[in-house]
Amino acid sequence: MAARTDLFQSPDYYQLDELFTEEQKLIRDTVRTYVKKEISPIIEDYAQRAAFPEQIVKQLGELGCFGPTVPQEYGGGGLDYISYGLMMQELERGDSGVRSTASVQGSLVMFPIYAYGSEEHKKKYLPKLASGEWLGCFGLTEPDHGSNPAGMVTSFKEAGDHIILNGAKMWISNAPFAQVAVVWAKDEQGDIRGVIVERGMEGFSTPTTHGKWSLRASATGELVFDNVKVPKQNILPGVKGMKGPLSCLSKARYGIAWGALGAAMDCYDTALRYSKERVQFDRAIGGFQLQQKKLAEMITEITKAQLLVWRLGVLMDKGAATPAQVSMAKRNSCEIATNIARDARQMLGGMGITGEYSVMRHMMNLESVITYEGTHDVHLLITGMDVTGLNAFK
């Protein structure tokens, strides 16, 4: 199917561009140009075929979308969190799967190696991951432990200068193509540790997950560990317990809060343009009250979400953002994006279910985004626990 020309114009109802620096706007516009040139023309075809566009890995590395907040000495961009957010917004405006590739690489693979790895780990892995020479993945979720990752059963035993790793992880973005995995597993004392596992280690396999109706242009798989012998020095020395994976998830959820907003912006922009072009009953459908109601509600929710993620970015840059604040923004962006995608799909009528427009693809992708890295309900309970001081999880 021939791709439509990408005519996206970013909604900015409250002149929020005034809140961004010139550098931040340049970074955003650079990624936007990349998406229009390299992602929009191909993404529908890859999604229809459920294929991963492998060429984007190098492209995203060259663009600086992998680990943009990691210091330059390790190959990262040394950028602020608002710049990172804007990058994720623009990538997901193209496709949630493309943004997922970058989120996992930066927040879930590079961040833990940078924050908790040894100097040797940082020098060995970070530059290759930043450039896109290597793709990484993050192993936390298991078949029987999704919202309760602390119950994981993947574990390792010590064997001299090595450990022997056993278990399985599920729903792992990038897994089929990854050269390296940051895996969370329990040691013999029951403490959760991060372990760097490399492709080629005997007993380590990454079966692809097939049959997805969502994130079809993203590679998803399992991580299977069958007596995998891993050098002891591959254990991340700087963290023990759930703090390790949860700190990674806070960074990734922050990126998702901006990313899902990008998908919402694309759906709104598509619906707005269509409403001015599509004529029924001798007039553009954008002139009818029910269509204007949908568009007015979309731009209102987008504007509120833009303010929320901008303020969260300011707090992230000050080191003052709490995980619960990140949860609120992740949940809100996902909620407004799923609602906007559905309303935009209705406005497009029958055309809305075709690949000629991006809306149905966003709608399906967002069903994953609203579920992964903390389900919608779990994020509500995180906020609830934060404001009441009472734990509803137990």
Say which amino acid occupies 26. L
Rounded Cα distance between 175 and 206, Å, is: 6
Q: What is the DSSP letter of 155?
A: E
Place of tokens 């900015």: 12
CA-closest candidate to residue 319, choices 384, 254, 394: 254
Say which amino acid occupies 342. R
Please list the alpha-helical segments (H only) found in 278-358: 289-317, 323-347
Establish whether 373 is a catalytic residue.
yes
Question: How does DSSP assign 164-211, residue by residue?
Answer: EEEEEEEEEETGGG-SEEEEEEE-TTS-EEEEEEETTSTTEE-PBP--
Strands 220-231 and 162-173: antiparallel
In which region does residue 319 sit, left (phi positive, over 0), alpha (psi from -120 to 50) or beta (all else)? Answer: left
User: Quick count: other Cβ atoms within 10 Å of Cβ 364?
Assistant: 17
Residue among 92, 142, 335, 373 flagged as catalytic: 373
Place of tokens 């529908």: 44
Rounded Cα distance between 148 and 155, Å, is: 16
Catalytic residues, by residue number, are 373
